[in-house]
Structure 1
Amino acid sequence: MPLTPVSPHSAHLTFRALEPIHGMIYFTPHGPDSYRELGITDPRMMYFASRSAAFGPVTAEVTIATFFNFNPAAVRAVIPAAWEIVSPAEIFRARMRAVDRSLRQAWGDDLTSPEVREAAELARRAAERACERPQGRALFAAHAALPWPDEPHLVLWHAQTLLREFRGDGHVALLLTEGLDGIEALITHSATGEISPEVLRASRSWSEQDWADGMRRLRERGWLSGDGVALSEYGSQRRGVIESRTDELSVYPYEAIGEAGCTRLRALAAPLAIRVIEGDLGFPPTLSARYRQVVDRPVS
């Protein structure tokens, strides 16, 4: 099938429209339930082990390198200890059970609807094209080597997972080229106003002193202005470059379905994503509001 151009803006919108379908795995109560069945009770171990399981029983350093913005001490506290409790293959299967239970709860009888099937087919075509270009994208490549599920709802989730990690690895590369370390990347993200500093600091296990030190370094390099978390003109310009280039680097997979396919995929995904957001799957209210803001945008 011939490829058609896709704009970076369209790639951005398509990724965002489907992100709640993937993102629920980090909040759904079915995740911890599935991991506890294997003997994992530490929430941090659940997160780091389930997302890095695609690599196999890796060291903490691999997870630190590929996850990028988490406090390394938080990773080392649970990796590789997790692999002494459960194998990566077992935790991967538990993760997929949690996905299955969550989407069944959100979509009910529509789990195999024509809309889910069509969305899964479009997303898979994009994700399979991403698999043609794994170079330089380690976290994506690990997930790309996992087997595809059979059921349409799981195919859709797995496809968005691949597209997410493909985009994320490109984003990390750009953060590195700007000379940002993990906590500095979080600080500049929070300085855009998209998410609060407290949420990012706590969720990535950084101390208040770590955060203050990161802000000091950024001020010294001209990224921040004033005493609070506010981007300077220079910092705003550099952060804008990172975001626009992230969109540009994420275009490649979506060329498999073109602009028309992206528009159609967003139209199909919007009601499905809203049902996930509203499906009692544990999304924090602030994140639900952000997701709704994106999903409710016109699809064209």
Structure 2
Amino acid sequence: MTEVTPALAREAWRLAEPLHGMIYFAPEARERFDALGIPATAGYFASRGGAFGPVGPGPVVATFYNFNPDLVARALPAVWQLTTPAAALAARLDAADAALTRGLGDAIKSPEVAEAADLARLAAESATAYAAGRPLFAAHAALDWPDRPHLVLWHAVTVLREFRGDGHMAALLVAGVSGLQSMILHTASGQADGGFLRSSRGWSREQWAAQAAVLRERGLLDGEELSAEGRELRARIEAETDRLAVPAYQALGAHRCARLAELARPLSRTLVKAGFLAAAAPRK
């Protein structure tokens, strides 16, 4: 079995990511959180952070990394007076079911979705052998698996996403880049909408500007753009993130990892073309 390279692991993640990421923008999620009587922001922290159980803000601030702690503290632990972690997680899964059904239509019943689900689940389950130091991944990996193929695929991609995310956070920590600073650098690369990132993560313009000034002092920004040093640092962080993600896909081998990417591509493309992730796209 040919070993999976960091580039191949990145491609498998990149092409499957919209299948998970759409849940943060789908109106179905907001509807389910409304039904629980909780605001959308609290629903986000309750459903994703609910994998930890009824925690306060500490574990979520630590593992989500780039959110303003004050924003998290306004939602947790108060949201557990309104709902339970199990109910929040069930609402998110139900929203994923409805959103994928709307976005993919009859394709969710296709053999390609079933095959992708099997491959992604194999990768996600094998990744539990590398859970040390990956708390958000470990919490999601311990959740029960759904039974229908399109939801197995969604859950597996979610688990793999958290595996990669924990590794990315480790790479940022080693590089001395905070969560807020990472978003500023991401925005400066032209790959993200800074206004969306700042407001959705609860940071003020003043806080953003203060950390941008710190990055300029470090030589990582030239005005509002990345400096040569900033580009090099980002490339190094991304390369380390790719390397740390490899263990999750090794059980597939290179051929099946490439097959997972191949199967995920048209599914994700359908969702992107339908505007499921439009809110997160960089503004032109």
8 A Cα contact 2:34 2:40, kept in partner: no
1:296 aligns to what?
none
Q: Secondary structure at the match of 1:149?
A: coil
Matched, 1:159 2:156: yes
Q: 1:75-114, aligned counterparts within 5 Å? A: 75-114=72-111
Matched, 1:244 2:239: yes
Quote the Cα distance in structure 2 between the aligned partners of 1:288 and 1:100.
27
Aligned residues: 284
Measured against aligned partners, the alpha-carbon deviations of 1:204-250 in whole angstroms (never above 9, x if no partner) come to: 1111100111011112222222xx32222222211111001101111
Q: 1:1-300, aligned counterparts within 5 Å? A: 4-40=2-38, 42-225=39-222, 228-279=223-274, 281=276, 283-284=277-278, 287=281
Quote the Cα distance in structure 2 between the aligned partners of 1:237 and 1:272.
33
Quote the Cα distance in structure 2 between the aligned partners of 1:289 and 1:269.
25
Measured against aligned partners, the alpha-carbon deviations of 1:137-163 in whole angstroms (never above 9, x if no partner) come to: 111111011011111000000110011
Measured against aligned partners, the alpha-carbon deviations of 1:112-155 in whole angstroms (never above 9, x if no partner) come to: 21111101011111111111111101111110110111110000
8 A Cα contact 2:116 2:264, kept in partner: yes
1:179 is matched by which residue type in structure 2? G
Quote the Cα distance in structure 1 between the aligned partners of 2:173 and 2:85.
28
- Flag the structure with higher helix content: 2
Query: For the aligned residues, what is the CA RMSD?
Result: 1.7
Q: 1:94 to 1:285 in 2, by over 3 A?
A: closer
Quote the Cα distance in structure 1 between the aligned partners of 2:157 and 2:167.
15
8 A Cα contact 2:117 2:156, kept in partner: yes
Taking structure 1 as the reference length, what is the TM-score of the superposition?
Answer: 0.90
Q: Secondary structure at the match of 1:132?
A: helix
1:295 aligns to what?
none
Quote the Cα distance in structure 2 between the aligned partners of 1:232 and 1:280.
32
Taking structure 2 as the reference length, what is the TM-score of the superposition?
Answer: 0.95
Residue 89 of structure 1, CA deviation: 0.5
Identity %: 48
Query: 4+ residue stretches of structure 1 with deviation over 4 A?
Result: none
Which runs of 5 or more residues in structure 1 are unaligned?
Answer: 291-300
Residue 45 of structure 1, CA deviation: 0.6
